[in-house]
Amino acid sequence: MKILLTGGAGYIGSHTAVALVAAGFDPIVLDNFANSHPVVMERLATITGRHIALERGDVLDTPWLEDVLRRHQPVGVVHFAGDKAVGESVALPLKYFHNNIGGAVSLLRAMETVHTENPATAPTLVFSSSATVYGDPATVPITENFPRSHTNPYGHSKLVIEDMLSALRTASPAWRVGVLRYFNPVGAHPSGLIGEDPAGIPNNLMPFVAQVAVGQREHLNVYGDDYPTPDGTGVRDYIHVQDLAAGHVAAIKTLLRQGESFTVNLGTGRGHSVLDVVKAFEAASGKPVPYRVAPRRAGDVAQCWADPALALRLLGWQALHTLDDMCADAWRWQSANPNGYRS
């Protein structure tokens, strides 16, 4: 059974492709490599021991998407493709609304057109959403019925796409939709062959810490140590990308088996502070991670972690990896690929 992965050469997409092969599916990677690298396809072949089909193009090209869907007839689509840098989205809102919302509209229209040609099929979609749709939560842990809000165009685009999917399901009940709200994805495949490869200076904590440990950056700036948290630094729900990939396989299987749509948090249910991550990474790598306390970063919340009970109940899924696992696997990827896929 074929599964189309838009943005499938990206960080979460590539790990999900590996997990889908292991689960007996046939992933088709669709990517324009705007924020990923073609060498990922060779790495996927090495890890899985088989060729992974690639469709190179842009999700904004609706007629091309229809052609891809007609040729492959996937039983489901996972929509990863999109831009995801919070800071960049504040500076370039139109890029985010165009690529993220426009890309989703293009994909959904292509799926709807092909579904109309084959009414017996049920359009099946898993959407890569984000805990950022919860904005600054009043309390933690966060459940799926918490109010949503947006504090930046990236989060706004995710929220709008969730609303589009809800309206589509109301209009066309045949659609089967799984919305997955990621918390903080980190880590890498244990082979060290694929991992997180941010362009330029990493916005996110884990890749920045990894680059300090490998000697690429002098020190980490800790954005504030005066938050109302145990050690004063920000607390997040870091989830191993392998657990996240397994969550996507569980989501696809659930949609294909039961057909009921759902929205679930993909998190561990445990929060870790910035300094927890620094300590765990030093232990995993055996390298020092020097840091300096810097002013708070605009838009950051003090603490954010998931209540993952619904995903366990609906998908039979829960995160299994620990923060130490996440750091060990992130270190193996970083030390084997000091310049990411460019090395």
| 41 lies in the binding site for ligand WQD (CB under 6 A) | no
Per CB under 6 A, does 205 bind ligand WQD?
Answer: yes
Catalytic residue among 11, 96, 134, 154: 154
Contact with ligand WQD (CB under 6 A) among 15, 156, 189, 236: 236
Dihedrals phi, psi of 316, to nearest 5 degrees: 65, 25
Least Cβ distance, residue 297 to ligand WQD (angstroms): 5
Question: How far apart are CB 122 and ligand WQD at their closest, in Å?
Answer: 28
For residue 343, CA distances in Å to 39, 143, 201, 209, 328 come to 10, 41, 16, 19, 20
CA 289 centroid distance within chain: 26
Number of residues that bind ligand WQD (CB under 6 A): 19
H helix runs in 26-182, sequence order: 39-48, 62-72, 86-91, 93-96, 103-117, 153-171
To the query of whether residue 154 is one of the catalytic residues in this protein, the response is yes
Shortest distance, position 232 Cβ to ligand WQD, whole Å: 11
- Nearest distance in Å: CB 178, ligand WQD: 17
Site string (102-131) toward ligand WQD, x via CB under 6 A: ----------------------------x-
Q: Mark residues 256-285: x for contact with ligand WQD by CB under 6 A, - for none.
A: ------------------x-----------
Could you tell me which stretch among 22-30, 68-76, 221-229, 307-315 binds ligand WQD (CB under 6 A)? 221-229
Contact with ligand WQD (CB under 6 A) among 5, 222, 244, 315? 222
Residue 86 is a binding residue for ligand WQD (CB under 6 A): yes
Rounded Cα gap, residues 305 and 140, in angstroms: 6
Output the six-digit token pair for 249: 């396989």
Q: What residues form DSSP beta bridges with 130?
A: 182
What is the phi-psi region of residue 168: left when phi exceeds 0, alpha when psi lies from -120 to 50, beta otherwise? Answer: alpha
Q: Is 77 helix (H, G, I), strand (E, B) or coil?
A: strand
In Å, what is the CA distance from 206 to each residue of 76, 144, 155, 274, 323?
31, 25, 20, 9, 11
| Choices 56-64, 110-118, 214-222, 248-256 (CB under 6 A): range interacting with ligand WQD | 214-222
Q: What is the nearest approach in angstroms of ligand WQD to the Cβ of residue 308? A: 17
Min dist. Cβ of residue 118 to ligand WQD (A): 33
Choose the stretch contacting ligand WQD; rule: CB under 6 A; options: 25-33, 72-80, 199-207, 240-248: 199-207
Pick from 155, 178, 175, 12: nearest CA to 80: 12
User: Is 223 near ligand WQD (CB under 6 A)?
Assistant: yes
Angle between the 274-285 and 205-213 helix axes, to the nearest 10 degrees?
A: 40
Residues whose CB is less than 8 angstroms from the CB of residue 275 and which lie 6 or more positions away in sequence, other chains included = 222, 231, 233
Using CB under 6 A as the criterion, which residues of the chain lie in contact with ligand WQD when the complex forms? 84, 86, 130, 132, 182, 184, 203-205, 208, 220-223, 234, 236, 274, 297, 300
Q: Which residues are catalytic?
A: 154
